[in-house]
Amino acid sequence: METKIIDKIALLFRASKKKYKRVKDKYSTDFIYDFKIEQAEFFNDNPSGLRWLITLYISWKKNGTLPEEVKSNIYLGSYESYQNYVKSVFGLQHKFISEFKEAMEMYFQDPEKSKDLIERLDEGVELNREQFLLAVELYYIFIYEIIELYVNDNFLEYKTLLINPLPEIKNSTKVGVNIRPEVTKIQMRDLCDEQIKKLYIGLLKEKFIDERTSYISFRRILIPKGIKDEDKIIWIDIADNKMVNKVTLLEFVSLLIDEKSVQNKFIINYCKIYSLKEGEKTIPRTSLQNSRRHFENKIEKNSKREKIRGLIANVLM
């Protein structure tokens, strides 16, 4: 089993725990607090797991390293073992950061304050003694989220833990990210993770959606929970007139959402269309209304609409 990247993440997660224990132990004593000294020690003294992890993450993302490791494990026949190992590595770190109750609550309920404290810690802007420890814990959560989402984006079998961090935290937001409040008003057909994955693979295979629609974005939209501004379903099905076929998009959404006005809201907020001729575009309301008239008037059998229905029916079996 090839595990170079996950081994490195596991090593640096362990190092970060040691670093936190050192900081926490110091806070249990009566010491003279000096922000510049504490900040320098946190980032520069070994073990410095989080800073190193971010540096490696930037390199991995640039070079597409993780997808190659995942493919290698498929080829070696060790995919299931790899999946279990990834889950155990992130499960241990998630359990660790979940103990930061105050920081967890602030991270998801007050993103602006969280971002401010993280940036001040990172940039060396003065924090008092209480703020410093809280900022350290927020920093741990922030780095964990970045790394976990990277794995989730590139390894379809992995399911994020931080998307539902604590049961008492409702309507969460993330640092530096706006979650669309209207998503909570959209009542959709309930789908489990296995069904969402099956639907995603089917739509991708049949070329209804573009490969730039990431699985994690697709999943967040269909749950729906934790949706970010950049999350979009990119529809690429081409009609006979060589334009993107929004009729099949309406067919797809109508099978997931009952109310017509909500279907329109969903498409406008969370879907884009893409063609080689026009590139990636949002869907204007007038264009959607024209497509809906065509969708509702077209009674005759249509192979692509039948294919969409078949995909949904197969998923719900």
Using a cut of 0.75, tell me whether the model's pTM lies above it.
no
pLDDT digits (tens, 9 = 90+) for 134-193: 999 999 999 998 898 888 877 767 777 775 443 333 333 333 333 333 333 456 788 888
Joined tokens for residue 175: 């640092």
What percent of the chain stands above pLDDT 90?
A: 28
Report the chain's terminal Cα–Cα distance, integer Å.
34
pLDDT digits (tens, 9 = 90+) for 85-99: 999 999 999 999 999
What distances in angstroms separate CA 304 from CA 5, 226, 264, one per listed residue?
A: 41, 31, 20
Cβ neighbours of residue 181 under 8 Å, at least 6 residues apart? 171
pLDDT digits (tens, 9 = 90+) for 232-284: 999 998 877 778 888 899 999 999 888 877 888 889 888 999 888 778 888 87
Q: How far apart are alpha carbons 197 and 216 in whole angstroms? A: 10
Is beta strand 279-282 parallel, antiparallel or unpaired with respect to 271-275?
antiparallel
Predicted local confidence at residue 28, as pLDDT: 87
What distances in angstroms separate CA 238 from CA 244, 249, 283, one per listed residue?
A: 4, 11, 15
